[in-house]
Amino acid sequence: MKIHPLAVVSPGAKLGCDVEIGPFCIVESDVELGDGCILESHVVVKSGTTLGAGNHVFEGAVVGGIPQHVNMPEQLGRVRIGCDNTIREHVTIHRSMYADGVTVVGNGNMLMVGCHIAHDCRVGDHCIFANGVLLAGHVAVEDRAFLSGAVAVHQFCRIGSLAMVGGHARVVRDVPPFVTVDGGSGQIVGLNSIGLRRNGYTSDKVAELKRAYRLIYRSGLAWKEMLDVLRSEFPDGPAARFHEFFANSKRGFTAERRGPALPTIKLQPSESEDEPALLKRKAG
């Protein structure tokens, strides 16, 4: 165990084996740090926080802060973080609003600079949040989701497993699993084909997901009829996750972008034959 002399660690904290705590860190009472956790300098881990083994927390992160809420209860819940997470600079993760509640971050996640996870969120395993991702209260993010830079997610929304959300998207409705959300429009533009391939989904499974996707977004069926057909035609396998996800919602679901893509402005070719060569010389 390595604790820098300029760190402040409460006697009421429980530290595992091979923990490293850098200078100017503060570890309050009622904190548990699992084996092999590393806290770089200026990390604050507040009361009510449990970190599993192998977490690496970088400079300026605050884990276990009180919720940002105007009606603060007298007793707060906890923060529970799994194992092998990377929590980069200035990430903030807040405790639950309820005495028996927990804000949960799973295993193997990558939370990049400036991410915020509000009270009562639940983040699964192996998710990637790029810089500046903001989760409001009670958001649920399933396993292996990818949220690009500056994505903001409204409270109570859900992000399905292996969904990919483009940068600067404003998520105000549930995002189903396996899909890609365009950052500009905030709408779905198809399956997350690259993510599916990287995670070992076979061509047959991807084809099945495509059939289910077309049924959901392009069949023209009424909502209840679509759910019935989805359940009967895809009773098992990855596509069955769609019905399970759609059956429970508080926010509604993100729509598909059906219009054409934005036009591309093409530059006119030069009338002078010598001009391209001149530009090439200048650029080189």
- The set of catalytic residues is 119-120, 137
Length of the chain: 284
Structure tokens at 196: 């599916």
Q: How far is residue 154's CA from residue 134's CA, in Å, rounded to a whole number?
A: 9
Nearest 5 degrees, angle CA 187-CA 189-CA 192?
115
Return the SS3 of 211: helix
Residue ranges in the chain assigned as alpha helix (H) = 193-198, 203-218, 223-233, 240-246, 274-283
Distance CA 133, CA 147 (A): 7
Q: Which long-range contacts (CB under 8 A, 24 or more apart) does 112-115 make?
A: 112/88, 113/88, 113/89, 114/89, 114/90, 115/88, 115/91
Task: Name, in order, each residue with C-beta under 8 angstroms of 145's C-beta and a sequence gap of 6 or more.
Answer: 124, 127, 128, 159, 160, 161, 162, 163, 164, 165
**Tokens in use for 138?**
């009670």
